[in-house]
Structure 1
Amino acid sequence: MKRAIAALIGALALGPCLADPLPSWNNTGSKAAIIDFVESVTDKDADTFVPAEDRIAVFDNDGTLISEQPMYFQAAYALDRLREKAAEDPSILESDVLKAANEGDMKGMMAGGMEGLSEIINVSHAGMSVEEFQADARAWLASTEHPTSGLTYGDMTFQPMVELLTYLRDQNFKVYIVTGGGVDFVRAFAEDAYNVPPEQVVATLGNTEYQISEGGTPMLMKTGGIFFIDDKAGKPVGIMRGIGKRPVMAVGNSDGDFQMLEWTTAGAGPRLGMLLHHTDGEREFAYDRDSHFGKLADGLDQAGDRGWVLVDMANDWETVWTGNQ
C-alpha cells in the first residue's frame, strides 16, 4: 500500500513535466503556435483534422537542426580532408578557390560562391565508397571540436528542435530532413542525432558509381561532381521526387528554405511554416541578412505577411545544445 501511494505521489510530481512536449522551449507565442497547429490537425472532431498518412513535416538541417557557423559543418569537414589530401599531393590544388581553402583564406574561398564550395567538396569527398565516407564523417563529427563552442561538431544539434521532432513523431507525423547538404554526409549521422532514418533524408546528390572492387566486392563509389542540388527552388522538387506528397509543415532558417515553406503553406487545409531566426549571439550566433551561411532576408521580411512562425532563438529557447545538458 505504501509503495502504491509513493508511486502515485511520484506520478503526480512528474505529471506537469511529462505534459509539456517541448520543455526546452519558453512559453512564448512560437511554442503556442506549434502546439495549436499539432492539436488542430490531430483532433478527429475538428474540421482541421489531417489523417496520419498526410502528416508530413519537413525540416532543413544546417542552421535548423544543427548549427552552421562559421561555416556549414560539411564544409568544415571537407576543408580538413582537402588539407590532408593536399599535403600528400599538392597538385590537386588546381584552382584559386582550392588554394585559398588549403591556406585557410576564407575570403578567397567564399569568392567562388556555391560553385567554389562544391569544388572543395568534390575534391575532398571523391575516391571513397559511400560506406567509407560515412564512417569517416561520423568519426569526424564525434571527435572534432568546433572552433568556438567547446563542443564537438556532432554535439551541436539543437535540443529544442530534437524535442520538436519527437513531439511530431509522437503525434503520428512522418518527419523528413530536406537539406542542401550532401545526402551521404547527413545520412551518416541523422538517425543517431535525430532518430530520422536514412530513407527519410532528402538532400543534394553527388555523383555515385557502381563498381566492383579488385576483390570482387560490389560497392558504390563517390566520383565527384553534383547530380542534383536540393536547395532553394530545388527543395520542392526534391520533396516531390523523394516523398511524393506536399508536406503540411515545413521548418527552415534561411532563404534557401523559402521555396520549401512557400510551396508547403500554399496547399489546401491547415499548414505551418516556421523559420528559426538566429538571434542569440551569447549561446550560439546572431546573424541573418549579411551571413555567408544561412542568409535570412526574404524570409525575415515576408514571414509575418505569409503567416509563418518566426522563432526568436534568444527569447523562445530556454536551452540550445543537446551536447551540454
Structure 2
Amino acid sequence: MSLHPSHVWALALAAVWASTAAAQTDPLPSWNEGPTKQAIVAFVTDVTREGSPDFIPPAERIATFDNDGTLWIEQPIYVQFAFALARLKELAPLHPEWKDRQPFKAALEGNLAALAAAGEQGAADIVAATHTGMTPEAFRQNVRDWLAMARHPRFDRPYEELLYQPMLEVLAYMRANGFKTFIVSGGGIEFMRTFAEKYYGIPPEQIVGSSIVTKFEMRDGRSILFRQPTVNFIDDGAGKPVAIEQHIGRRPVAAFGNSDGDLQMLQWTTQAGGRRLGVIVHHTDEAREYAYDRKSKVGHLSQALEASTIDRWTVIDIKRDWKIVFPFERTGETSR
C-alpha cells in the first residue's frame, strides 16, 4: 500500500513529537539506558507511589550525597586542597618562615613527593594555616574569590563547569519527587556552603561536612565568630553516620558515594528495614574524566566496591552508564 505524501509527513512529525515527548519525560536524559539507570528510577517510582508496599512518606525521604568524586571532580587533587595551596602562596609573603618549614616549603616549591610524604598531618597543617584566623564570612569570601578565577589543570575550566551532569539530574529528579537532598562530605562544611546552593540547589543548612572550632567573641563592642586552628570534627568514614544523626536526625533512605570514605554512610543507610538505595560512582572513564579506584590516594575505592556486592548497592560505571560527564558536553564543546 502506498501512502500519500501528506501522510508520510504526518507520520514523520508524529515520530518527532513522540521522540520529543519521551525526551521531556525522561528524568535522567544524560544516562544511557540500562540496569543502573533503571535501578534509580525504579527506586524513586516505587517509594513515592501511594499504595506501593515500598512507599516512604515524604518526611522520611532523605537522600545523602558525598561531594568530591560524587557530585564534582576530585582528581588530580581535592578541590578544597587546591584552594588551600593557592591560598598558601597568597599568604606566603606574610610568612617568610614557611620557606624553610615543611610541609609549607614543599607546597610552595611544588614538590609533590615531599608534600605526599607529609601525609594527612601535613595537609592538616596547610588547611589550618589557610582556613583559620578569620571570621566565617571572610573565609567564605576567600573561597568565592578563588572559585571565580581558579581553573582545573587538565580541563582548563572553572570548577563550576566540572560538576557531573548525570548527578545534577539525579538531585533534581529526587527533589521533584519529594526527597530532601543533603551533602554529607569529608570536605569543609563552610567551604561547601559557599557554592552548594548555586551549583546543586542544596541550601547551607543541608550541608554536613568536616569542621574546625569556631568561637564567639566580642570585639570593639561587636559580636563575631572566629575560626580557630583546631579541628572540631572530621566527617569521613565512620564519622558520616554520626554526623547524619547529629545534623539531620533521620536515617537516610538513599545514599550516594564514590570512595571508601563513604562505606559507613552507605551501610548505615541500606542496612535498615524497608526499601533502601545505595549507589557508588565508579570512575572508569580516563578519556572523558579519570579512571581510578584501589590504587588512588584521592577517592580510594576498594572496601566499598567489595561491599557493594554483599549489600546489593548500585554501582555506576561512568564509561558505560553516562552519555556525558560534564554539563558543557551538552552543547558539543570539547575540553579547552
Specify if TM > 0.5. yes
| 1:16-95 equivalence runs, <5 A | 16-92=22-98, 95=101
Q: 2:321 is matched with which residue: 294, 316, 320? A: 316
Structure 2, unaligned stretches of length 5 or more? 1-12, 331-336
1:88 offset after TM fit, Å? 2.8
Distance (Å, rounded) in 2 between the aligned partners of 1:154 and 1:139: 13
Please show how residues 105-184 of structure 1 align to structure 2 within 5 Å. 105-184=111-190
* Superposed displacement of residue 65, structure 1: 0.3
What is residue 249 of structure 1 aligned with on the other side?
A: 254
Does the 8 A contact of 1:141 with 1:153 survive in 2? yes
Partner of 2:196: 190
Are 1:202 and 2:208 counterparts?
A: yes
Choose the corresponding residue for 1:282, options 287, 306, 311.
Answer: 287
Letter in 1 for 2:238: A
Q: Identify the range of structure 1 (128-137 vs 264-273) with the bigger mean alpha-carbon deviation.
A: 128-137
**Could you tell me which amino acid in structure 1 is paired with residue 297 of structure 2?**
H
**Partner AA of 2:234 in structure 1:** I
Of the structure 1 ranges 298-307 and 276-285, higher mean CA displacement relative to structure 2 is found in 298-307
2:240 to 235, 238, 241: 235
User: What's 2:268 paired with?
Assistant: 263
Query: When the two structures are aligned, how many residues end up with a matched partner?
Result: 317
Native 8 Å contact 1:66 1:157 kept in 2? yes
Worse-superposed segment, 39-48 or 230-239: 39-48
Higher deviation after alignment, 101-110 or 261-270? 101-110
Helix, strand or coil for the counterpart of 1:202?
Answer: strand
**Letter of the aligned partner of 2:22 in structure 1?**
P
Which stretch of structure 1 is more off in the superposition, 238-247 or 101-110?
A: 101-110
**Residues 323 and 263 (structure 1), Cα distance of their counterparts in 2 relative to 1, 3 Å cut:** same
Give the residue type in structure 2 aligned to 1:286.
Answer: A
Q: Who is 1:299 aligned against?
A: 304
Asked if the contact 1:157–1:323 (Cα under 8 Å) also holds between the matched residues in 2, the reply is no
- Of 125-134 and 236-245, more deviation after overlay is shown by 125-134
Q: What's 2:21 paired with? A: 15
Q: Which amino acid aligns with 2:202?
A: V
Query: Offset at 1:106?
Result: 1.7
Q: Aligned Cα RMSD in Å? A: 1.8
Output one character per residue of 1:228-274: Cα deviation in whole Å (capped at 9) or x when no partner.
Answer: 00000000000000000110001000000000001110111000100
Counterpart Cα distance in 1 of 2:82 and 2:71: 17
Question: Which residue in the other structure is 1:4 paired with?
Answer: none
8 Å contact kept, 1:30–1:310: yes
Counterpart AA for 1:59: F
Query: TM-score when scaled to structure 1?
Result: 0.93
Quick one: distance in 2 between partners of 1:290 and 1:25? 27
Report SS of the residue matched to 2:327: coil
The offset of 1:217, in angstroms, is 3.6
Alpha-carbon distance change, 44 to 94 in structure 1, aligned in 2, over 3 angstroms: farther
In structure 1, stretches of 5+ residues that fail to align are: 1-7
CA deviations over 1:170-198 (Å, ceiling 9, x no partner): 00000000000000000000000000000
Code of the aligned partner of 1:208: T
> Which one has a bigger Cα radius of gyration?
2
Q: Matched residues in 2 for 1:322 and 1:85: separation?
A: 34
Query: How many Å apart are 1:290 and its aligned residue?
Result: 1.0
